[in-house]
Amino acid sequence: MNRREVLKLLGLTVVNLSFGGRHAWAALTGSVEGEAEIIRGTRVMMGNVPVTISAVASDRNQGREAIAAAFGEMHRIENLLSVFLPQSEFSRINAAAGEGPVRVSSETIEIIRRGKEIARLTGGAFDMALGPAISSWDFLGKRHVPTPEEIAALKPLCRSEEISIDETKQEVSLQKKGMSLDPGGIGKGYLAERGKQLLLKNGITSGIIATAGDLVLFGGRPDGTPWRVAIQHPRHRDDKIASIDLTDCAVSTSGDYERFFTKDGVTYHHLLDPKTMLPARECQSVTVISEEGTAADAVATGAFVMGPTRGMALLDGSKNGNGIVIDRNGGVQISDALVERVKLH
């Protein structure tokens, strides 16, 4: 797995094989036939996100088939959500902004509804209507710092209150021309959850789906122990700052070191505060552990933007996850429910 990924799995040998677009499989233990082992596959989705599925199976063919089925479902969801695909439902919604509703699938309705719910939960710190601001900053391309005038023009276009959902008609509309949705802060967790369901459906009872800084994990390692998850140090990428044993949950980390650029001596990262359209500066990283991936993904983004005090209050006071917050000075705060379980390094 890429060293810039926020989360590293301890106890797994990392193998990443790909030949000319054909995906190779790797058993990550040296077990003999009939013993449980970890089968792994990796693909790139949602533009440039590496997605790795690790499945515990005693039959290699079953593991490979289950992973193929999971990737098939995840590609189906990608074709709905990815703004990198012009034919996706999110792209069609964005293209019709200010013009009228677009009929979409139940999955698209679900993820947009969840996004609006988490926007309310975080007081707007998470907002999937930030598409125009993200496009203006263009962290993957020209790396532009918007002027105050540009930011003022963006603000009216980046409000989740302007997203309308008609669940009866299965329609979504953006009220103002120029608006656009960006699923980046919630889509990876949703994608991983759908992949997990296909693994379970195909007889896999233990595994991990890793989508960049997000994990969905269930069951345990081949020896029956829980999965051990290490949280990367936000200022020393080869070091871990904490670790925790987990099963049957989702983990998501938002960090200021994931995607950034430096211009005129100032570093700008991609986690934008919807109130200012500028990078949020109060945290280095936030890790959220939740029951499912969609909430973990979006709440981690929201808590990061809210800052250490409000972000930790959100995590301690909601049902959407517990967490570890590293503030701008490197101070570590841990949710009450995790204090006895997290090992600091």
pTM of the model: 0.89
Q: Please report the pLDDT score of residue 2 as a whole number.
A: 38
The reported pLDDT for the residue numbered 128 is 97
- pLDDT value at position 325? 97
d(CA 342, CA 326): 14
What's the pLDDT score for residue 316? 87
pLDDT of residue 34: 59
Task: Decide if 13 is inside a domain.
Answer: no
Q: Please give the tally of structural domains in the chain.
A: 1
Position 7 scores a pLDDT of 42
Has residue 322 been placed in a domain? no
In angstroms, the CA 130 to CA 34 distance is: 50
Which pLDDT value is given to residue 15? Answer: 29
The C-alpha atoms of residue 131 and residue 327 are separated, in whole angstroms, by 26
Looking at the domain assignment, is residue 340 inside a domain? no
Closest by Cα among 164, 111, 99, 158 to 130: 158
Q: Do residues 46 and 78 lie in contact, with contact meaning Cβ atoms separated by under 8 Å? A: yes
**Residue 86, CB-side half-sphere exposure with 13 Å CA sphere:** 0
Q: Indicate whether 58 belongs to any domain.
A: no
Low-confidence spans in the chain with pLDDT less than 50: 1-33
Note the pLDDT of residue 213.
73
Domain around 100? 89-183
- 211 occurs within a structural domain: no
pLDDT score at 205: 96
> Which CATH number belongs to the domain containing residue 125 in this structure?
1.10.3980.10
pLDDT score, position 23: 29
- Cα 1 to Cα 43: distance, rounded to the nearest angstrom: 11
Q: How far apart are CA 179 and CA 160, in angstroms?
A: 10
Average pLDDT in the chain: 89
